[in-house]
Amino acid sequence: MLQQDSNDDTEDVALFDAEEETTNRPKKSKIRHPVASFFHLFFRVSAIIVYLLCELFSSSFIACMVTIILLLSCDFWAVKNVTGRLMVGLRWWNHIDEDGKSHWVFESRKASSQESKTVSEAESRIFWLGLIACPVLWVVFAFSALFSFRVKWLPAVSLVAEGTVSQCWAVTAGCSLLQAVVVMGVVLQGANLYGYIRCKVGSRKNLTSMATSYLGKQFLRQIVVEIQRCRGPVFAFS
């Protein structure tokens, strides 16, 4: 009986291990795409740095704003088309069929047993960290730009009182370019964040159903073991 139990236990352990290896993706902690990881963070972080330190970089306000716009666009394209695919195997895009209706497609790479296609944990962490932290910062900048706009109105009001309306317009329009750039940052990075979260949620539905079926199987196995343990003494008595 004891031997039977131990056999059952070892059999359970072996089955447990075999199941785990096929259902869970083996996670590695080395970075397989260093260039992609670098560029994923480079464009986002440099856009934020240029925004914060624009006075230091160049005396021309316009050059800073154009640089930020270009960095934000490059970041949007790179994250949407390249780094998402390479680092976490997710992609989202818009598809227009013949009727002219637009569909948003969110796809994720299916779990495969091939070594090269599995998701590395370090890369996944870098990806999601960069994806979530930067839009949050841009939202913070948006709020601060909103409030500093009010502060900038005070000298503008005094300028109007002195009659220099053109300078007042210049100051407020300068503010509005800053806010336009911040809004653009929020929109572009927020769109990528939303797209990838939807990709992830879509793929997690498959993971959830796999997890529930796996747990269901484990539960059934435990019940069978318990029944066999209870039956053991019955057989001994009979």
Partner 1 sequence: MRSRVREFDSSTLNESVQNTIMRDLKAVGKKFMHVLYPRKSNTLLRDWDLWGPLILCVTLALMLQRGSVDSEKDGGPQFAEVFVIIWFGAVTITLNSKLLGGNISFFQSLCVLGYCILPLTVAMLVCRLVLLAELGPINFMVRLFVVIVMFAWSIVASTAFLADSQPPNRKALAVYPVFLFYFVISWMILTFTPQ
Q: Contact residues for partner 1 (CB under 8 A)?
A: 36, 59-63, 65-66, 69-70, 73, 76-77, 80-82, 85-86, 89, 91, 93-96, 99-102, 107, 109, 117, 167, 169-171, 173-174, 176-177, 180, 191
Strand 102-108 vs strand 90-96: parallel, antiparallel, or unpaired?
antiparallel
Nearer residue to partner 1 within complex by CB, 6 or 206:
206
In degrees, rounded to 5, the angle at the alpha carbon of residue 180 between the alpha carbons of residues 178 and 181 is 65
Q: Which element (helix H / strand E) includes 105?
A: strand 102-108
Smallest distance from partner 1 to CB 24, Å? 21
- Which of 135, 117, 114, 113 lies closest to 188, judged by CA? 135
Smallest distance from partner 1 to CB 59, Å? 6
Torsion of CA 174, 176, 182, 187, to 10 degrees: -150
C-alpha distances (whole Å) from 175 to each of 87, 131, 143, 218, 228 are: 37, 27, 13, 61, 76
Nearer residue to partner 1 within complex by CB, 124 or 218:
124
Smallest distance from partner 1 to CB 62, Å? 4
Smallest distance from partner 1 to CB 81, Å? 5
213 neighbors 148 (Cβ within 8 angstroms): no
Query: What does the alpha-carbon distance between residue 183 and residue 140 come to, in Å, rounded to a whole number?
Result: 11
Smallest distance from partner 1 to CB 61, Å? 5
Nearer residue to partner 1 within complex by CB, 29 or 60:
60
Query: What does the alpha-carbon distance between residue 208 and residue 200 come to, in Å, rounded to a whole number?
Result: 12
Nearer residue to partner 1 within complex by CB, 56 or 66:
66
Smallest distance from partner 1 to CB 117, Å? 8
Nearer residue to partner 1 within complex by CB, 48 or 181:
181
Nearer residue to partner 1 within complex by CB, 3 or 114:
114
Smallest distance from partner 1 to CB 57, Å? 14
Neighbours of 130 (CB within 10 A): 21
Nearer residue to partner 1 within complex by CB, 158 or 228:
158
Query: What does the alpha-carbon distance between residue 161 and residue 153 come to, in Å, rounded to a whole number?
Result: 12
